[in-house]
Amino acid sequence: MKLFTWRMQNRQCGVVAAIVTVGALLMCVHLLGELRKLGSAVAQLQDEHKLKSRSFVHSLKSLGHHPIERHLSAAKDQVELTGHGDDEMVVIYNRVPKTGSTSFAGIAYDLCKVNHFNVIHVNTSKNAHVMSLSDQMKFVRNVTEWIEKKPVIYHGHTAFLDFSRFGVSTVPIYVNLIRDPLERLVSYYYFVRYGDDFRPNLRRRKAGNTETLDECVEKGGSDCDPEHLWLQIPFFCGQDAMCWEPGNKWALEMAKENVLRHYLLVGVTEELGDFVAVLEAVLPRFFRGAVKLFQEGTKSHLRRTSHKVPPKPETLATIQDSKIWKMENEFYQFVRKQFRFVKSQTFQQVKGQFIEKSNRFHYEKIRPR
């Protein structure tokens, strides 16, 4: 009887051992399968990373400045954007007249289908640069709540608008261009008389008036009054009344503050190509391919005033002696210095060419593991 009991117990132990062995084998097979899947996923992610970070170079024709090449190199510490925040982006380009704005807006329109975003022109009545308070509120709500059109670039000749004043949780990204104030004045003076090559058959409001800028300044005409220089400062100052008072010192300081606090990037027309290059590096969701388009396309030469007479030195001296020109020039120099600083942080010079810098930060010591 004892022998029979021992044999039964031994047989039961053997069955249990066999079950445990089979279970362990099945678990190993399952774990091996999962490891293979994980390995495939890691390999796929590495391939995608290599594809995204593969080096490429775009040469760039820069207007009146050093050419920039865009170069992204693969690096161990490359930081990739995560999530879907890019698809919620709103960019506002409150374009200043006669600063190359049509050329730059044209680049956005050419890229919108390729990069899958929308472009919307904000057309204000009678080209008014300031909105009523009720229109400001409507505009803010439209921009933040029109989800179907995101990601989107809005552009129009409107003064800066601080979205944080209107109780919205997200604010848009502002970008802009400004131009040497004297060059902008000369361009606008002849533009309203002779038009441009973009719409050559459109009759401008001063058509037929052949008076040169030199003649206007000599006789003290209203069309060349230094007050016409007062435009770039108020565009960046905003919608407040004092922004639009020519020569207002507070407006100048507010414009500078807004450039630093609210604008992602402000470039200068004279370095339009460099502006495009920095935007492609910073906002690839919108501007991927912009450098190549700028170089190979016709947008950098899209719109030119049909007829301009270079002003005489005495004309320039008279304009530059005005308080308003000095303030507008101070603002221009401030913006140009800031833009060149941003550009120097984005690109490095290698053998006479500007190459985009790799990331200079990475994440580590992430806890809990």
- Name the residues annotated as catalytic: 155, 157
CA distance 49 to 47: 5
Contacts from 282-287 at CB under 8 Å and sequence distance 24+?
Answer: 282/346, 283/89, 283/91, 283/173, 285/86, 285/87, 285/89, 285/115, 285/117, 285/151, 286/89, 286/91, 286/108, 286/111, 286/115, 286/117, 286/151, 286/153, 287/107, 287/111, 287/115
CA contacts within 13 A on the Cβ side of 277: 34
Residue 123 burial (CB count, 10 A): 9
Beta bridge partners of 175: 93, 265
Helical packing angle, 101-115 and 272-282, nearest 10°: 30
